[in-house]
Amino acid sequence: MIRTPLMTVMVDAVMKAARSLKRDFGEVENLQVSRKGPSDFVSAADRKAEQVLREALAKARPGYGFVLEEGGRIEGGDTQNVWYVDPLDGTTNFLHGIPQFAISVGLERDGKMYAGVIYDPIKDELYVAEKGQGAFLNNRRLRVSARTDLADCVVACGIPFLGHGNHPEFLRELGTIMAKVAGVRRMGSAALDLAAVAAGRCDGYWERNVQTYDIAAGLILVREAGGFVADADGGEQMMQKGSVVAGNEVVQRELLRIVRTASKAG
């Protein structure tokens, strides 16, 4: 695994936040009897984990800016470096007691994603990547899937929900993709979806209307695992446009073609 000083800082912060988050997840099941209780409890768990991450990262790298799920954007004295922090990606899963969520921290340097850490505390899976250093799951080097025939591929996605996203557009995309692949999966965490692509567990992934802190760490993870990422229009503005299409070179190109065609069809 990568042992640079930067990666040590990021991993230490994430693991510290994970301890409280894992404890809180153990309490969620006890709160399901109350409609208000679980939601309020999860919001508190989210904020607590974010505070731990912010304090640890700020102490180790004073002056770096932040983009936080709960706290918004905080400008730093060092304008070249910005942390993107999602303390709980997969909040709905967490709320319902579904053990599929992650902590995600990405570092943007000079406008480009430079390093990322994604940690799944339930499976104890730590994904790390730093520019030029490769991508790793725990101590194993990652490579994206080598499959090139969509008929053999499993593809992850995000599904728009109540009050969010363009539902007809997504249904056009899904209708085309599901007819060409071995399976489509919606797992509820953009960070873990991108990590799955980097690990070769999923062959591709697409989603619109995602937040910067959801995908920041995953973008560098996929690239350092030999994969390709683009926004839904085929450009490099994933963070600005809030959309991402990822996979190996062949699968990503084919998914991108389908997504772009479906968008124009609307």
86 marked as part of a ligand binding site: yes
Whether residue 36 is predicted with pLDDT greater than 60 in this model: the reply is no
pLDDT at 224: 98
Ramachandran category for residue 41: left, alpha or beta (phi over 0 → left; psi -120 to 50 → alpha): alpha
Tell me how far the alpha carbon of residue 256 is from its chain's centroid: 19
Q: Is the domain covering 5-141 a CATH 3.30.540.10 domain?
A: yes
What does the pLDDT average to over 126-149?
A: 97
How confident is residue 45, by pLDDT bands cut at 50, 70 and 90? Answer: confident
Domain range list for the chain: 5-141, 150-265
124 marked as part of a ligand binding site: no
pLDDT at 264: 79
Domains 5-141 and 150-265 share a fold: no
pLDDT digits (tens, 9 = 90+) for 156-212: 999 999 889 999 999 999 999 999 999 999 999 999 999 999 999 999 999 999 999
88 marked as part of a ligand binding site: yes
- Residue 25 CB-density burial (10 A; 0-12 exposed, 13-18 middle, 19+ buried): buried
pLDDT at 33: 39
69 marked as part of a ligand binding site: yes
pLDDT at 38: 55
Return d(Cα 122, Cα 25) in angstroms, integer: 9
- pTM of the prediction? 0.94
pLDDT at 221: 98
Please give the single-letter amino acid code of residue 116: G
Task: Round the average pLDDT of the chain to a whole number and report it.
Answer: 93
HSE, CB side, 13 Å, CA atoms: give it for residue 244. 32
89 marked as part of a ligand binding site: yes
Q: Is the domain covering 150-265 a CATH 3.40.190.80 domain?
A: yes
Least confident stretch, 35-39, 69-73, 99-103, 123-127: 35-39
